Each structure stands twice: as C-alpha cells, then as structure tokens.
Structure 1
Amino acid sequence: MEQQMIPKKTFAVMGALDGFSGILQVFAATYLGGSILILLGQAAIPISMVISSIWLHTQYTNSQYFGAGIVTFGLIIVLGPNLSLAASNLQAIDFLDLETSNSFAWALVMILSCIPMCLSSVYKEKHLGEAEMDAIYLNGWVAIYQFIICLPLTIPIAMLGSPSVSPSELPSNLWNGFRCYLGHNSIYEEPYPDDCSRAPVYVTIYLFFNILYNILIIFILKFGSSNILYLAMTIMVPLGNVAFTFPFMPGHEPLASKDIFGLILIMLGLFVYRFFGELISKTMRSTRAQLFQECFDDEDILKRRTGEHSSELTEALIASSEPNERDIRVVQI
C-alpha cells in the first residue's frame, strides 16, 4: 500500500513534535488553572497561520481574515474577565516569589508549547496531502515514536517537577503510578495520601477520548487544514466554561450569558472563515452565468427581430422594384 512506502522518519518527526508539545502542556497544566490554559492555547491560531504561510505558502482571503477576526472577538468577549484578572495578576507578580514567578513562567511554557504543536499539524497536513494515508495507521506510528522519544526525557522532566523525583526514585515512582491506574494505593501518609479507587475508570475514559480526539484531528488535517483545526478548537473556550458549570467539576460556577454569546460569535467566525468565501464565489459565478444567459437571450431576440425587419424590408424593396401596370402601359405606348 502507498502508506507503507512512507519513510518511518516522517512518523518520528511527528512523534517528536507531539511529544515535546505534550510534555510542555502537562507541566503547564500542573501549575495553571483550566480557564487560563484554554486561553493560552488560543495562541495556536496566529502561530498556525504564520507557519502555514511560511512553510506551505498558504495565502489567505479577506473573508478568512474577517472570520479569524470574528473568532478573536468572540474569544475576547468570553475571556474578558479572565484577561482583566490576568493583567492585574501580572502587575502584582513578585519575581522574587518562587511560586508566583513559576506561575508566570508556566504560562509562557504553555504558549511555547503551541509552536511544536502547530509545526506537527502543518507537517501532518503536508504529508497527508502528498500520500493517501489511513488516520489510524498514522496515529499508531506517531504514538509509538512519541513513546520512544519521550521515555528518556522522563529523567530530566522528573527532576524539574515539584516535588522533584531523582533518577533513582523514578522506577518506583512509575511503578506506583501504574499501580494507581489499577486502583491500588501506594501512599498512605498525610497530607496527600493516594485515592486510586476510581483511577481505572477516569484514566481509561481519558485514554479513550484522547485516542478519539487524535484520530479526529488527523481527519481534519486530511480533509481540511491546520488553520481550520485551531480555529475549530476555539470552541473549547465557551464549551470549557460550560463544562465548569457541572457540580462535580472543581471550582464550578454558573454559566454566564457572555459564554453563550461568545459561542455564537465563534461559530459564526468559523462559518465565515470556512464557507463565506466559497459562498461569495459561487454567488458571483451564478450571477455572471445568469447575466451571460440573459445577454445571450437578448441577443437571440434581437437577431430574430432584426431578421423579421430585414425580411419585411426585402419584400418591400422587391415589391418596389417590380413594375406595376401603369409603368407597363407607359412602356407600351
């Protein structure tokens, strides 16, 4: 098959980019709240557009810029209070305070994670356009190389964590994590004892949706583009706020009207970006075709009318050229 002829280094590059992006996002998610994570993740939109224009030489229409602007406006409406809070927090940062400065640093890490993520998406888009490839086949090989590349990175990453884990403690730490996935506690001491009773359910559900999510991303890149992918992912902003209204979510709060209005604007922006230009083009083509047909019909009518007038004129000329009886008598005399 054609997909089996693709060099495995292609999947290795995809796995490396996805792995680096995932590691940075896991670190950021540990120290940042859910709403700010969703906000910072929207940096992927301009980053993706810049990378696509440089690498794939993508050119954008006015309707696409307009659609992206509507999406941005919807995000500002939804995240306005969060932006104000983030600005006030930024002014209050004490860079000598380790925890506060770390929070600011992890926000930058989250933004930086969008760079390898967008590079991976554009790279996949490029190679999906060059060869016919099954989404599950691609996702499987990318996952294998992602695991191979990220496994040795666990050593420095564990040492950077809080609390840090030394290389000698890493094997037991990984083993205890696996036991927790199976539902067995390993730490019983206060203040943070294990509670792994529901871990198998939650982790398995996460893995299922994560695999489904990655497969759907491949389909979007295959039949769309990386720009459409990240514009579509902006829907997570208002939907994330909806999810935080559920009572079982940590820090849940009621749904605000701005979330509903922002969701409508984001959906409108996505429609304008994806379909408005095509609708305008189709409408203009249809209008030109209709005008051409009307002109053709008018020309045909004009030809028929001209033909009728020409026939009448010809008959009149013939009639005028034929001698009448008076002329004949004159000639005879």
Structure 2
Amino acid sequence: MGALDGFSGILQVFAATYLGGSILILLGQAAIPISMVISSIWLHTQYTNSQYFGAGIVTFGLIIVLGPNLSLAASNLQAIDFLDLETSNSFAWALVMILSCIPMCLSSVYKEKHLGEAEMDAIYLNGWVAIYQFIICLPLTIPIAMLGSPSVSPSELPSNLWNGFRCYLGHNSIYEEPYPDDCSRAPVYVTIYLFFNILYNILIIFILKFGSSNILYLAMTIMVPLGNVAFTFPFMPGHEPLASKDIFGLILIMLGLFVYRFFGELISKTMRSTRAQLFQECFDDEDILKRRTGEHSSELTEALIASSEPNERDIRVVQI
C-alpha cells in the first residue's frame, strides 16, 4: 500500500507542476472507470443498471463543469510539442496524471479487500502506510530530482532539502531574481495542508472500510465543482467568479452519487414491499373465500336437513 501510494503521489506531483488545476481535477476522474475495472477483475464486483446510470449522471455533471476547459485544452493541443515535457499543457504530463490513477486505484482496492477481512484501526493503518511510503520514496528522490526542471544533482540534493526545511520554518534561502523565496507564511500553509491531508487519508480508509473504492472515487468527483468554488476566493492564484455551470454540475454529481449508492436499494425495497403487500392481499382474499365457502356450505346443509332426511354421506358431500 505504501509503495502504490508513493508511486501515485510522485506521478501526480510531476503532473501538477505542468498542468492547470482544473485539468488536474478532470484527469483525476479517470480513477472512476479504472477503479470499476480493477474491482471487477480483482474482487469480481458486478454492477447493477442503477450503478451504471449513476456513474453516467456523474460523468455528465463533470462534462458540464469542465466543458469549457475541455474545449480550451483541445484547441491548445494543436500548438503543443508532445516531446517537450516542460510544456505547461503537455499531452505527456496529462498521460502521467492518468497513469497515476492506476497505482492509486490498486492501493484502494487492496485496502478495500483486506479491511473487509480484518478488523483494523484506521489511524493505525494510515500511520504504517505513511511510514512505508516514506521509506520507499526516500531513495527515489535522487532520480526524481534529476528529472525535474530545473534539475537538481545528487550533490545538491542535501542542501536543497535543508533549504526546503528552513522555508517550512519561515526562513528564506534564495534572494536572487527571478524566483526569490517568500517563506513568511509557509509554516501556516504547510501545517494546514498536513493537517487536512492526514484527516483526508483517515477518512478515505473509513470509506474503504465501510463502503468501496468505487464509492470513494465517485464521491471524490465532488472536488470538481468545489475546486472551482475554491478558485473564487481572492487569495487563490488565478481566482475567478463562480459560474452557474459549477452549481448545476455539483447538483448533478450529488444526484449521480445518490443514484449509484441508494437508488438500486430503494427500488429493491419498494419491490419487496409491493410483493409482500400483494401476497398479504392474496392471503386475505383466500381467508375471505374460505369463510364464505364455509358459510355457504352450512346453509346448504341446513336446507337439506330441513327438506329431507339425508344420510351422513350426503351431508359430508355437501360440506366438502
């Protein structure tokens, strides 16, 4: 789990460096079909028509929210050099973001499978996953630093890490142009991020424990319109006003999640209740018929006795 989460995080960090926020959120939704495929292969999960319908509603909501971004990205693809990995909207980095969903979904399905088989505390599990993720990713910092832009040689890596830690404490290390440090608010921002990231990972484990990886990634599609809402705040870089498509898209995504998670169960409960009611009505009709048949037989028996003196065999025949 630590290895899969680590590889996924590394790929996403690279992609986030060269892709815009809305495109990142869009490409992250590739986890929905990837998760459904992995679950069907590994866990032999079978999906109902209502689940497919709910996933379709979620997809439609995503298209509404990100439609303008998709058209803009399609127009920009004509001017992109696919071999230039430093291009901000590079097709290669978009593929990297999509590929990062594979180890992420594998880790989630693995957690779903084994959390269902063993009782384990979510905080305890998240702590050990984080430890192994750190151990596995630490040696990868050398090749990753060399692949970055600007690249960092192995000899410069210790000082680079130290300066990064000093920035977290609020101390600047680079004063020259064009990109001087501005670490005055770094302790607040990084600490807030770490707090919410830990809370986020713990909640993910709870969702996987009591739900499924498919529900997790469908629920995470709410980030698409909410991310656009976050970019309306004045302190966010590139902020812009909230559009009506974001509100409508959020409503559709919530509706799709409801259909995927609860619509099939509601239909099943309604059908069971209807069948039970029909059976009860049939039993009531049968009881009424028996009572009416019994009363009619008694009247016939009394009439025969009054009109004649039948033998016992005749009375039994009439009663039957």
Fold match (TM-score > 0.5): yes
What is the CA RMSD across the aligned residues, in angstroms? 4.8
Change in CA separation of 1:100 and 1:317 when aligned onto 2, cut-off 3 Å: same
Distance in 2 (CA, whole Å) between partners of 1:182 and 1:152 is 24
Distance in 2 (CA, whole Å) between partners of 1:52 and 1:77 is 27
Q: How far has the Cα of 1:89 moved from its partner?
A: 1.0
Change in CA separation of 1:199 and 1:230 when aligned onto 2, cut-off 3 Å: same
CA displacement, residues 160-180 of structure 1 (integer Å, 9 cap, x when unaligned): 000000001101111111111
Contact 1:184 1:196 in 2 (8 A): yes
Segments of 5+ residues of structure 1 without an aligned counterpart are 1-13
Contact 1:245 1:253 in 2 (8 A): yes
Change in CA separation of 1:296 and 1:28 when aligned onto 2, cut-off 3 Å: same
Change in CA separation of 1:325 and 1:126 when aligned onto 2, cut-off 3 Å: closer
SS in 1 for 2:234: coil
Contact 2:61 2:252 in 1 (8 A): yes
Contact 1:158 1:166 in 2 (8 A): yes
Contact 1:70 1:269 in 2 (8 A): yes
Q: How far has the Cα of 1:126 moved from its partner?
A: 0.4
Distance in 2 (CA, whole Å) between partners of 1:214 and 1:101 is 29
CA displacement, residues 107-140 of structure 1 (integer Å, 9 cap, x when unaligned): 1110100000000000000000110111001101
SS in 1 for 2:202: helix
Change in CA separation of 1:151 and 1:306 when aligned onto 2, cut-off 3 Å: same
Q: How far has the Cα of 1:288 moved from its partner?
A: 0.3
**Which one is further off, 219-228 or 87-96?**
87-96
Distance in 1 (CA, whole Å) between partners of 2:266 and 2:214 is 19
Which residue pairs with 2:186 in the alignment? 199
Contact 2:85 2:92 in 1 (8 A): no
SS in 1 for 2:215: helix
Q: How far has the Cα of 1:106 moved from its partner?
A: 1.1
Q: How far has the Cα of 1:92 moved from its partner?
A: 2.1
Contact 1:242 1:255 in 2 (8 A): yes
Change in CA separation of 1:301 and 1:37 when aligned onto 2, cut-off 3 Å: same
Distance in 2 (CA, whole Å) between partners of 1:215 and 1:90 is 38
Provide the TM-score with structure 1 as the length reference.
Answer: 0.91
Provide the TM-score with structure 2 as the length reference.
Answer: 0.95
Q: How far has the Cα of 1:321 moved from its partner?
A: 2.0
Contact 1:93 1:101 in 2 (8 A): no
SS in 2 for 1:101: coil
Contact 2:18 2:86 in 1 (8 A): no
Distance in 2 (CA, whole Å) between partners of 1:89 and 1:182 is 39
Change in CA separation of 1:184 and 1:304 when aligned onto 2, cut-off 3 Å: same
- Aligned counterpart for 2:16 among listed residues 6, 26, 29: 29
Contact 1:179 1:185 in 2 (8 A): yes
If you compute each CA radius of gyration, which structure gives the higher value, 1 or 2?
1
**Which one is further off, 77-86 or 102-111?**
102-111
SS in 2 for 1:192: coil
SS in 2 for 1:67: helix
Change in CA separation of 1:326 and 1:277 when aligned onto 2, cut-off 3 Å: closer
Change in CA separation of 1:306 and 1:155 when aligned onto 2, cut-off 3 Å: same
Which residue pairs with 1:254 in the alignment? 241
The alignment-based identity, stated in percent, is 100
Which residue pairs with 2:219 in the alignment? 232
Q: How far has the Cα of 1:91 moved from its partner?
A: 2.0
Contact 2:222 2:250 in 1 (8 A): yes
Aligned length: 320
Change in CA separation of 1:222 and 1:150 when aligned onto 2, cut-off 3 Å: same
Change in CA separation of 1:99 and 1:145 when aligned onto 2, cut-off 3 Å: closer
